[in-house]
Amino acid sequence: MNMRHEEGIDVSVLDGILDGVLEDLAQRQSEVPLRELQARAADIPPTMDPLPKFREPGVSIIAEVKRKSPSKGALADITDPAGLASEYALGGASAISVLTEQRRFGGSLADLAAVRKAVDIPVLRKDFIVTPYQLWEARVWGADLALLMVVSLPGGQLRDLLGLATEIGLTALVEAHTEDELSRAVDAGAELIGVNARDLTTLNVDRTVLKRLVPQIPEGRVRVAESGVSGPADVADYHQWGADVVLVGEALVRSGDPRSSVGEFIRQATTR
């Protein structure tokens, strides 16, 4: 993290999040060593591949279990993440995203495990993953996908973690926000590429980032739009601009009717 400051990049928001993530990670590692995690993984059922569904015509929705965020604060009092995930699935979601970062997002690995038991569609662990240990955690606690953010993985870390994810059966959602980050994601061989409208160094949102970057994603890769969705029209825009998949969190947890909302997001995006 200090390396980024030396490069003159202002990543104060991201650094603060990562500092907390690493502190919490150290505690978990002291309680469950890596070798124990790896042993547990041997007994876990095979993961589900989300890519065939994501490649189907129309738009796929990754619906998110999200209690709060650094930019918006508290979003929803989610006492039953499994129940919420089930409603998403019944509404037509192609996958469920579960925030597992505790300090800024109010999530946990227990949420991930609960959701995994409740649905029969792929589940994404969304967190600030910067170590192999976190990928093994994702596998053991039931994830089929794991988020890798290019901005937090300098040097060869991205390629190394992407390789490990593939090796242990996880599909990596590799997230970029800039042209340089996208180039690194493509060069690393990512099949599932997310374009985040939110700049994690400032938390500012620019929805047109997807429109600018999509043409640079090679044919055959699956394109995911992230952040900046307040309603069905935003999903429709993202799909029109080239997104195969849209990840939606805040707009769904605040909707009051998550099942119907997922269906409406899909309907408007495919009928515009």
Active-site amino acid positions: 64, 66, 126, 175, 196, 226-227
Half-sphere exposure of 41 (CA within 13 A, CB side): 23
Residue 198 Rama label (left phi>0; alpha psi -120 to 50; beta):
beta
Residue type, 218: P
| Cβ–Cβ under 8 Å, residues 197 and 227 | yes
Q: What angle do CA 147, 207, 225 make, to 5 degrees?
A: 35
Task: Tell me how far apart the alpha carbons of residues 89 and 48 are, in angstroms, rounded to a whole number.
Answer: 15
The torsion of the CA quartet 71, 234, 63, 12, rounded to 10 degrees, works out to: -20
Alpha helices in the chain (DSSP H): 2-6, 12-31, 34-41, 51-54, 81-91, 109-118, 132-140, 157-167, 179-187, 208-213, 232-240, 250-253, 258-271
Residues composing the chain: 272
- Chain CA centroid to CA 223, Å: 13
Spatial separation of the C-alpha atoms in residues 169 and 129, rounded to whole Å? 16
Residues 196/67/103/73 CA torsion (nearest 10 deg): 80
- Tokens 């990596």 belong to 172
